[in-house]
Amino acid sequence: MEIKIIKEKISLSEVKQAAEESYGDMVKAVVDIKKEIFALGGDLHADAEEILLQAGSDQHDLWGINLYPENSRQDLIIFSSLINISPKRENRSMMIEIPEVKEKIRKIIDNLVI
Tens-place pLDDT, residues 32-46: 999 999 999 999 999
Residue 74 and residue 72: Cα distance in Å, rounded? 5
Q: Domain of residue 26: give its range.
A: 4-112
pLDDT along the chain (114 residues), means of 10: 94 97 96 98 97 98 98 96 96 97 98 96
Domain count, the chain: 1
> What's the pTM value of the predicted model, to 2 decimals?
0.96
Chain centroid to CA 65: 4
